[in-house]
Amino acid sequence: MTTELESVSDFRERARIWLRDNMPPATASSELKADSEEAWDRARQLQRILYDGGFAGICFPSEYGGLGLTPAHQKAFTKESVGYELPLILNVPTLAICAATLVDIGTDEQKRAHLPAVLKGEEVLVQFLSEPNGGSDLAGLTTRAERDGDRWLLNGSKIWSSGAYAADYGLCLARTNWDVPKHRGLTLFLVPVHAPGVTIQRIKQVTGSTEFCQEFFDDVSLPLEAVLGEVDAGWEAASRLLNHERAALGGTSPYISGATPHMGAEAVSLVELAKATGQWEDSRVREDIGEARAMNVVRDQLIAHVTRSIISGALPPSAGSITRLFSAENACLQTDMAVRIAGSIAATQAPGDPVDTEKVGLDYLFRAAWSLAGGSTEMARNVISERVLGMPREYAADRDVPFNQVKRGR
């Protein structure tokens, strides 16, 4: 495995040869449903191939199984990997969010126990953050962990956890102190998904996918070393995790490997769609395609600028909310344009139709999710205004009030 910092050009050439000789074409798993067990098994296998070949965890520390290289090396590999099958479903949340958070706040023992396993495809990590009654107020959560001698007992419920059914561990934010304001009494835990007392239910969406899950915790016993970061300092830990989440969804994360569309924005080629439906010569359609293309160019330039600025320190890590917000808005525009061009066949796909528009219709049904994934776009605007632009914080009636005194609806 690479231990010395080789030049980006040498690394890219080595990656080009290795990919050609070792990775199957991208069409190899095209028939697998993204939320199927087969897709996750395949992703684990591909991740192991990357690890054995010396191309897993390019920006992860070398002492924990990564390569310890730069975002430029990762970008070079991603460009070379276009056209090859890669374990893209492991990017979010396992690699770019959960494993990245482990790098930041995990103990040496936690990093050595989990990061090599993640990079080998042996462990899948997910997030246990949102709650059924929580909305966007993450700090107002009520899932609780209580100290019981040399262990913690976890009780409560989480929801909208992507891929939890296929995971091994979840990063779970729970309340450990009710006598202090809500942000000060939280702790982040590393929870074994298959531990006694953990129940996972899959949620069927309007698209038919069952990617999202709800979890129930009933006296789940956790060892003291399951704490990530410090006890009652879970908000600081969660803030790091959320920075990684925004970076992943906004396209600025150095831990994502392989070419993947930004929030679904390029799932369908508008040019191919226009030609297949006989509208390529329509000036209105061509203007729509031009607008969509311009937005993608702006997105790519924005991602590059924000990434450089965060790395140089010119912008704080929370600036990832800028690209997260823009990518969400752009994803909706791209999806709307696709439906506008496809017309009624976006909803009436049938065998023998001139173009496969099923993806167009499903993307449109799912479009609202892009304004929620990684925190709502409204929350992203708050983060930008308060943490990037330095504007005054939004008023909150429960600020500095002990959580056990905060009035909550039933």
Name the token pair of 239. Answer: 């803030």
Taking the alpha carbons of 18, 21, 26, 31 in that order, is the dihedral positive or negative? negative
- Backbone dihedral angles phi then psi of residue 156, each to the nearest 5 degrees: 140, -160
With beta carbons less than 8 A apart as the criterion, state whether 272 and 278 touch: no
Domain ranges, ordered by start, for the chain: 8-91+99-123, 127-233, 261-388
Query: What's the pLDDT at 359?
Result: 82
Query: What's the pLDDT at 153?
Result: 98
Residues in the chain where the model's pLDDT stays below 70: 1-4, 28, 30, 260-268, 354-356, 409-410
Query: What's the pLDDT at 151?
Result: 98
For the domain spanning 8-91+99-123, the CATH number is 1.10.540.10
Burial 215-232 (b: 16+ CB within 10 A, else e): bbbeebebeeebbbbebb
Superfamily per CATH, domain 127-233: Butyryl-CoA Dehydrogenase, subunit A, domain 2 (2.40.110.10)
**In Å, how far are 91, 256, 275, 291, 323 from 296, measured between CA atoms?**
21, 19, 20, 9, 12
> What is the three-class DSSP state of 287?
helix
Global confidence as pTM? 0.89
Taking the alpha carbons of 379, 332, 93, 390 in that order, is the dihedral positive or negative? negative
| 261-388 CATH, one of 1.20.140.10, 3.60.20.10, 3.30.300.30, 3.40.50.10470 | 1.20.140.10
DSSP characters over 41-110: HHHHHHHHHHHHHT-SSTTS-GGGTS----HHHHHHHHHHTTTB---GGGIIIIIIIIIHHHHHH--HHH
Tell me the longest C-alpha to C-alpha distance in the chain: 73
Question: Do 261-388 and 127-233 have the same topology in CATH?
Answer: no
Query: What's the pLDDT at 350?
Result: 75
